[in-house]
A and B are shown apart, each in its own frame.
Chain A
């Protein structure tokens, strides 16, 4: 496996369900990110973890709960979501040293809330 891998690729869930999205990076990076991508809107940064510590939380509702157990893995735990949460959820990683630090993305989880 190379790059950034996200599972599942598609998820359909009811508003009362609990599920988790998983992200794994094989690039040796030490920062990981969750983004939300909705139609006709720019990518929205949700959470940032650097060296396994959460460093940004962009006013995301508490029904989204991130977890970063180590520098290679990132989870997004979901519970009691709303229909407006239907979107593509993208994970990214970067190396937090040097000036550039480009972010590399996975292919996302397409989430549909019934």
Chain B
């Protein structure tokens, strides 16, 4: 069965510092990997995805993620955090384009001024 894990419930970082939000996955075959962001009492917004190709994927708002097949990871990164990046971040995975999306439990990112 496919699954995705976000090992940290919360990540705290100072504004201007780099941030990393971790995600690992378990899926047979080639994974489709996604990051979404959710602001309080709002729906989820798509940030970026990895389907194939370059392991480093760039997305919205300066975020990027690196696909690491050997470590089955897809960590979200940003070189310099902003207070406005504070939100709930979800990693998601599906097996090819025939399965439904499976979401992780979310990681709350808190960026302090």
Note whether A and B form a binding pair.
no
